[in-house]
Amino acid sequence: MTESGSRRGADEGGTKQWELVVGLEVHCELATATKLFCGCPNQFGAEPNTNVCPVCLGLPGSLPVLNRQAVEFAMRLGRALHCTVEPSTFARKNYFYPDMPKDYQVSQYDQPINAEGHLDLPSGQRIGIERAHLEEDTGKSTHVGGGGRIHEAGHSLVDYNRAGVPLVEIVGRPDLRSSEDAKAYAAELRAILLATGVSDAKMEEGSMRVDANVSVRHPGEEFGTRCEIKNLNSLRSLGRAIDYEARRQIDLIEAGERVIQQTRHWDEADGRTHTLRSKEEAYDYRYFPEPDLVPVVPSAEWLAEVEASVPTLPAERREAVAEAAGVTPADAALVVERGLDGLVLAAIAAGADPLRVLTHADHNLAVEGADALDPRALAELVTMEADGALTATQAKTVLAEMVAGGGSPAEIAGAKGFEAVSADALGDVVDGIIAANADEWDRYVNGDDKTRGKLTGFFVGQVMRATQGNADGKAVTALLEQRRGG
Amino acid sequence: MADATPATTDTAVAIAEAVRSGERSAREVLDTHLAAIDAREGEIHAFNLVLADEARAAADEIDRRVAAGEDPGPLAGVPVALKDNLCTRGVATTCSSKILEGWEPPYDATVVRRLADAGAVVVGKANLDEFAMGSSTENSAFGPTRNPRDTTKVPGGSSGGSTAAVAAGFAAVGLGSDTGGSIRQPAALCGVVGMKPTYGRVSRYGLVAFASSLDQIGPLTHTVADTARVLEVIGGHDPADTTSIPEAMPALESVLGDGVAGLRVGVVRELMGEGIAPDVAARVREAAEVLAAAGAEVGEASVPAVTYGLSAYYLIAPAEASSNLSRYDGVRYGLRVDAPTTPEMNLASRTAGFGAEVKRRIMLGTYALSAGYYDAYYGKAQKVRTLIIRDFAAAYESFDLLLAPTSPTTAFPLGAKVSDPLTMYLNDICTIPSNLAGQPAVSVPFGAGDDGLPVGVQLLAPALAEAPLLRAAAVLEEGAPS
Ligand SMILES: [Zn+2]
């Protein structure tokens, strides 16, 4: 795990290697029909302050009623992250902020609904999940004038449509050792959120928000002092911010200074992190049990239902493809990400050559409608290609046609005039070309590698011309080598 | 003691049955009560707002329904005073605080809706200690309420306005809220029946929160039968309050005549000693004799942890209050005092909007929850709460009901304790344990003290045992010295 650490620090003249330590805290909005504690629609983009009621406005006398669907989504996500679902309670997190209607946030504190899970990256690395708990979202402030900053604004407008939207906060352990790993973790988590259907997980729209805890150390030493980075609105920002922050901390330490624990804000425009508040300025949230809500103790039946609703997860799907195709799970990542693993597995089951299927899925099927392809047709195509009935280029063309309009590969190949050139027939053509070009063949057989390389192109071109392009270049090259040796 | 005219001490049951049968009109009943308000409200100040016009319209509607052959419900035409921390749609709800200046809730509290559905007529929003924090109704931003039995005395609190309204004949029923005794203590001091039901019996939806884990709405009435009837109307599960009890309300009014034969009643030893005025303690012992004479097995009970109740309460209640009252920040509703920045505006609004006692409790509660102090204060108080529940449970192995004073003394003069919070807090020493335990308790008028002012005795029961509790209350009511 120190390779990535060694990429920074040591390669720039440091005497010791530096290791980056990252843990991510991810907030995601649950895609429930209504808010966490009231019946208002949970909807993005409505007119300001239209999806509000006494409860989510925190009006005096109002009381929260927990949304069953939100609990169910949280549990489903928890199980997808291999957490144990625990009896849980809510707590109040107290601090003043205008976009928080009650001036406290209802969250889960010492008894979260999901505890102790993990997430497996496509690389096979396992990242611990400390907890994944439920809480309510705040409203959204817009600062008018003063460049949008609260301290200089003429006035502020608050939209409470988002107030009370259910969130799950997923607290990852500091097991990540590079910005690439952190991005892979966020991407994998997003895939799980989408697969389980609990969130639309859009970083740009804020329905998935990532905060990064970053520190540096020498490998094997205690964790260094960490800084929490906020305002990471894309995977790209996440990666850049982590790299910047690590560099900043290493520079501080190497200059004989200390890293101060603080919350920092990533500025995408200037590519730096800036101090938001230090540990001393941190709020005392005065957590205490939320007296308006009762503990959540899901029944065994409900848990079983939730368990059954967890779909096959990306990591398991990668495993399945890897096993069927005889590749590593990382090699299967792309088809799973594209949702083509079902197609790939079915095509392999129908007898197609696994590696050729994977190659097509990786390179030729990043298109709309690919997942609707008939796996038997794909298998047929791959078999034609393997048998030499189609060249790789022809197969790609036929495949595009199959995705666009359906139909069997044989019909499409026929319609395109892609004629089968059998191995025997191809041998005859090659022998004919050799006979007709004796000088070139002599130089091919007796020349150096460079000469042979040039002449390979010549012979393949001749064969292609003779077969109207229906020959497979690789097969021709193989035959030429066979004739030379034989 | 006999200031009120006979007409305005009519019970809720009597009024409702007379209105339902067409014997009396709701309008005539209302006018009688409005006349009493006209006569004495200037002196008593039970209300923050009298809703005479709205009440007349509501009474006329009841009469129209009776004329049309409909039954307006078990509280048909009964005039009700609502504590002004119960939300009323489109009608100012102030909690007797400047901070809620101008705020009109867009919704009715569940109890308000249930009262209206039962035919009750709201006559006004009653005064209280600001945000229900106090025991004398002197902590009101709108001035104190006076005790109708003796206007030099406090009515108790915090539901002093609702209680005084009943005692003065301004309304047949008052609704109060009881966080540490705020229904029972004023009931004792004004000579009416006041009950705190089991926590969760009555929906808190629309009750402006003081201390959420302790707050409970309950009735203030002339009689035990009225309390039973009102509780049947306002109680029962409410899906809008997650902490409300799912079980249906048991029949209360119909079992009141069942008596106490065979019930075991324990007088709480720890609440009969130091700090309890001798005349009050004497009435409690007499009440025990009345119950024994009616066939109850009376003995002495011990609930040792109740002596820590006051300390635990003054950590838990302020802690919850400090959080509940955060929302009054000048941003969305109520008072706003402008200032250059948002935090300064929050501070200026809260400084101007809250009274001294509210500020004191917010500071106490904030401190009790602070990092580094939580375990020593809030955490420990919760442990004491558990101890009290445990000790009550042990006592209820030997007894069905417990008996104790409601208030340590009879009503005290206005101004006597207002400058000494600790002395004021001691008023609730006998009532707080039931709130901490979430159990029902009722204060029943039982004779008078040496000063001639009313004394209330308190019956306590395990959770959900409202029926035996009120049966015993009815026996005490019957046997009370006249
Ligand atoms: Zn809402």
**Stretch B350-359: mean pLDDT:** 98
In a domain, A107, yes or no: yes
What number does CATH give the domain B12-253?
A: 3.90.1300.10
CB contact under 8 A, B206 and A61: yes
pLDDT at A392 (0 to 100): 82
pLDDT at A153 (0 to 100): 66
In a domain, A26, yes or no: yes
| Res. B353: pLDDT tops 80 | yes
Residues A241 and A112 in one domain: yes
Phi, psi of A64 (to 5 degrees): -80, 145
Structure tokens at B421: 């919070």
Q: Does B93 touch chain A (CB under 8 A)?
A: yes
In a domain, A2, yes or no: no
Residue in this structure with the two tokens 């009298």, named with its chain if needed: B50
Q: Which residues contact B396 (CB under 8 A, 6 or more apart)?
A: B402, B462
CB contact under 8 A, B319 and A288: yes
pLDDT at A51 (0 to 100): 97
Q: Which residues contact A179 (CB under 8 A, 6 or more apart)?
A: A20, A22, A238, A239, A240, A242, A243, A246
Residues A261 and A165 in one domain: yes
Residues A19 and A79 in one domain: yes
pLDDT at A61 (0 to 100): 98
**Amino acid code (one letter) for A79:** R
- Domains in chain B: boundaries: 12-253
> Of the residues A283, A308, A333, which one is the last residue of a structural domain?
A308
More confident of the two residues B381 and A453 = B381
Cross-chain CB nearest to A61 (options B105, B243, B369): B105
- Among the listed residues B25, B159, B177, B182, the single catalytic one is B182
Cross-chain CB nearest to A61 (options B208, B332, B378): B208
Q: Does B207 touch chain A (CB under 8 A)?
A: yes
Distance from CA of B346 to the nearest CA of A (A): 9
Which of B207, B228, B231, B205 has the alpha carbon at shortest distance from B218?
B231
- Among the listed residues B83, B125, B153, B417, the single catalytic one is B83
Structure tokens at B358: 């509210």
Phi, psi of B161 (to 5 degrees): -70, -50
Query: What 3-state class would DSSP assign to B81?
Result: strand
> Of the residues A365, A394, A415, which one is the last residue of a structural domain?
A415
Residues A327 and A252 in one domain: no
Peptide bond into B302 cis (omega under 30): no
| Res. B2: pLDDT tops 50 | no
Residues of B in contact with A163 (CB under 8 A): none
Cα dist from B150 to A9, B145, B410, B452, whole Å:
84, 11, 11, 10
Residues A455 and A325 in one domain: no
CB contact under 8 A, A284 and B370: yes
pLDDT at A8 (0 to 100): 44
pLDDT at B421 (0 to 100): 84
Residues A380 and A469 in one domain: no
Residues A125 and A88 in one domain: yes
Number of Cα atoms under 13 Å in the Cβ half of residue A78? 28
SS3 content of chain B, % helix, strand, coil (to 5): 45, 15, 40
In a domain, A1, yes or no: no
Cβ(B110)–Cβ(B206) below 8 Å: yes
- Residues B221-274 pLDDT 10s: 999 999 999 999 999 999 999 999 999 899 999 999 999 999 999 999 999 988
For residues A29 and B437, give the distance between their C-alpha atoms in angstroms, rounded to a whole number: 38
Structure tokens at B177: 């809220």
Residues A299 and A190 in one domain: yes
What is the number of structural domains in chain A? Answer: 3
> Of the residues A415, A436, A470, which one is the last residue of a structural domain?
A415
**Residue A326 CA to chain centroid, in angstroms?**
23
Cross-chain CB nearest to B342 (options A98, A102, A294): A98
| Res. B361: pLDDT tops 50 | yes
Is the whole-model pTM more than 0.90? no
- How wide is the angle at C-alpha A313 spanned by C-alphas A311 and A317, nearest 5°? 115
Residue numbers in chain A where pLDDT is lower than 50: 1-14
Q: Which residues contact B402 (CB under 8 A, 6 or more apart)?
A: B265, B266, B267, B268, B301, B303, B395, B396, B459, B460, B461
- Residues A261-272 pLDDT 10s: 999 999 999 999
The enclosing domain of A453 has a CATH number of 1.10.10
pLDDT at B412 (0 to 100): 97
For residues A396 and A393, give the distance between their C-alpha atoms in angstroms, rounded to a whole number: 5
| Res. B288: pLDDT tops 90 | yes
> pLDDT > 90: what percent of chain A?
65
Residues A99 and A214 in one domain: yes
In a domain, A370, yes or no: yes
- Among the listed residues B25, B135, B158, B159, the single catalytic one is B158
- Residues B176-202 pLDDT 10s: 999 999 999 999 999 999 999 999 999
Cross-chain CB nearest to B105 (options A59, A66, A284): A59
End-to-end Cα, chain B, rounded Å = 11
pLDDT at A292 (0 to 100): 98
CB contact under 8 A, A59 and B106: yes
In a domain, A407, yes or no: yes
ipTM of the complex: 0.95
More confident of the two residues A475 and B214 = B214
Residues A216 and A326 in one domain: no
pLDDT at A15 (0 to 100): 56
CB contact under 8 A, A292 and B320: no
**Range of the structural domain that residue A398 is part of:** 314-415
What DSSP letter does each residue of A371-432 carry, written as one string? GGS-HHHHHHHHHHHHTTSS-HHHHHHHHHHHHHH---HHHHHHHTT-----HHHHHHHHHH
Phi, psi of B287 (to 5 degrees): -65, -40
Residues A359 and A374 in one domain: yes
For residues B182 and B126, give the distance between their C-alpha atoms in angstroms, rounded to a whole number: 13
CB contact under 8 A, B207 and A61: yes
- Residues A83-126 pLDDT 10s: 999 999 999 999 999 999 999 999 999 999 999 999 999 888 99
Burial class, B7, CB count within 10 angstroms (exposed 0-12 / middle 13-18 / buried 19+): middle
In a domain, A3, yes or no: no
Q: Does B72 touch chain A (CB under 8 A)?
A: no
pLDDT at A2 (0 to 100): 38
Number of Cα atoms under 13 Å in the Cβ half of residue B377? 20
In a domain, A154, yes or no: yes
User: Is B125 known to be catalytic?
Assistant: no
Residues A303 and A319 in one domain: no
Distance from CA of B5 to the nearest CA of A (A): 36
